[in-house]
Every structure is written in C-alpha cells, then in structure tokens.
Amino acid sequence: MIKLEVLNTAAKGKQFKLKPGFTIGSGDGCTIRAQHPSLQPVHARFVEDQGRITVEVGTKEAHVTVNGKDVLQHQLRHRDELVVGPLRLRVIDEAQVSHAALKLDMLLDEFDSDQGGEVYDFAKEDLFYLVQKDPGLKRALNFVIPSKDRFIDQAQVFLARLVKGLGMDEPQVDAFMTCTKELILNAHRHGHKYDETKRIVIRWRDLGEKVQLSIEDQGPGFDHRTVLAGVNEKDAASAARERYLAGGFGGLGFKLITKMSETLSYNDPGNIVTFSVRKKAPTED
C-alpha cells in the first residue's frame, strides 16, 4: 500500500492512501483540499503508470517538486518528498519495510540527507520556541545565520541546548561543541573572509546513536583533501604554521576536529562540511 504522509501544517502526521485519481488542490472534489494562493484548483494528480503511481502537475501554472527538484511528472518511490503548494508530503510504500522498521528507515533517510526541508531564518524566528512547539525539529532542523560574530555565538548557544537535552556523555557534548565552534568560525573567517553580508546554513540531525551537523558557507571552497592529508601526516603545530603562512585554514583546528569527531567529510568544492559525534563515549576494553 502506498501512502502520503503530511509533514507540515496542522495536518502533520496524517496519512492518506494513495491511488489513481488522487488529487491535491484548492478546488471542490480534490482528495486533499486546501485554500492557498499558490494552489491551483487541481494542482497535482496521481495516476498509475506501468503499475506504479506517478505524480503530475494539474495545470501549466502549477509547480510540484520531488526531492527538491521541480517536475512535470515523476514516478514515485518510497521516501520521496513532495512539495505541492504549501504542503510537504512523504511517500510511504509499506510493502518495502515492516511496520516496526518503517519509522527508523524514514528517520535514517531524512537524517542522512544534508539537503531538503525548510530552512529557518535564525535572525527572524525564535528557534528556541519553535523546537518546543514542534519536537520533531529537535531531530532534524535546517537554519541559516548571518555571518556575524553575534549570530555565530547565539547559534552555538542554541545548538548546545539541543545537544545537552539528549543525555549525551559530557565529553561527547564537549567534543560536539568544539567541532561546531571551529567549523562555523572557519566558514566565517576563511570561507567568507569576514564578509558579514554572507550567510551560513546549518543542518542539525539527531541520528539516534550519534548527532550530525552540516555547515555550508558561500565561499569558493578550498583544497580540503590536501589540508586533511597534511594534518594526518604532520604534527598539529607544523601543519598549523604552514597553513597560517599560506593564508589558509589552521592545522591545529583540524587536528582537534579529526580527533574529536567520528566522521568528517566535505563536498567536492569544500564549502560544505559534515561531521558526527557519538552520544556515548567509547568504552575502554
């Protein structure tokens, strides 16, 4: 059975059985009906194509995105995420997973994705309040901050509150916050060259046994492969000195991050970094 789960609005969590003839729009007779300026009378319809359910736009004025991409027609798969007007929806194919594994499967897919989902403006919205109002945001939250010291400090306080509410071992909290501080400051100092007109996107994920953070700046990136290789091959002080003289990232910070994080990875250009830290400190044998 294929279902659509609503991910936002007052209907969040509600599921609809998906079958040919299912429609979303503002007009009478739509299976999911909502009044919104962005919704056409029949905004999206669902049809059967070669035994699979396909979503297609209802009119040329309508826009439907699947996994962040604007589509005219798309054959749906388990865990696809759709945006139809103001609605965010997830496809659930119950034939693919057991009911017991369904939630975990969806969570892992959502958490492992660095992209997608609403990006909140930290400077305009009270995220401290929002995460209390919507506990789901404690598990997965994307937000953007101006590249300014004041907002960087406030974002760190906010992330510290999130991580301290998870029952993590104290050394692991310290490790997470140290990596967070170093990498956000790297984005501001090195990625943006202290340009306060730029913005930093932060993506937080609670992955169950570990927490993950992704930090994206608007800079051109850097040769992270060479830097990380140099950190691993040389002592921290030598690596830091060479990078400082070259006007680049400090090896001392990277040495610390690679030691404290469980995973550390960059996208190809080097302007998005993702790291994770386990909630529990490793036990000594």
- What residues does CATH 2.60.200.20 cover in the chain? 2-96
pLDDT of residue 230: 66
pLDDT confidence band for 49 (50 / 70 / 90): confident
CA distance linking residue 266 with residue 13, whole number of Å? 33
Mean pLDDT of 103-118: 49
Mean pLDDT of 14-35: 91
CA distance linking residue 181 with residue 249, whole number of Å? 14
Mean pLDDT of 165-170: 92
Is residue 172 within 8 A of residue 280, CB to CB? The reply is yes
Q: Which residue has the tokens 């919205």?
A: 125
65 has pLDDT over 80: yes
- In the chain, what percentage of residues exceed pLDDT 70? 83
More confident residue, 134 or 157: 157
pLDDT of residue 149: 95
279 has pLDDT over 60: yes
CA distance linking residue 72 with residue 5, whole number of Å? 21
pLDDT of residue 280: 92
Does the pTM exceed 0.85? no
- What residues does CATH 3.30.565.10 cover in the chain? 119-278
pLDDT of residue 55: 94
What phi-psi label fits residue 85: left (phi over 0), alpha (psi between -120 and 50 degrees) or beta?
left
What phi-psi label fits residue 79: left (phi over 0), alpha (psi between -120 and 50 degrees) or beta?
left
pLDDT digits (tens, 9 = 90+) for 235-265: 555 555 544 443 444 444 677 888 899 988 8
Q: Helices 236-245 and 251-260: crossing angle, nearest 10°?
A: 140
Name the H helices within the chain.
99-112, 127-133, 149-164, 170-186, 224-233, 236-245, 251-260
- Give me the chain's average pLDDT, please: 83
**Could you name the CATH architecture of 2-96?**
Sandwich (2.60)
Bridge partner list, 33: 25
Mean pLDDT of 5-15: 83
pLDDT digits (tens, 9 = 90+) for 142-155: 999 999 999 999 99
Mean pLDDT of 221-231: 77
- CATH 3.30.565.10 for the 119-278 domain, yes or no: yes
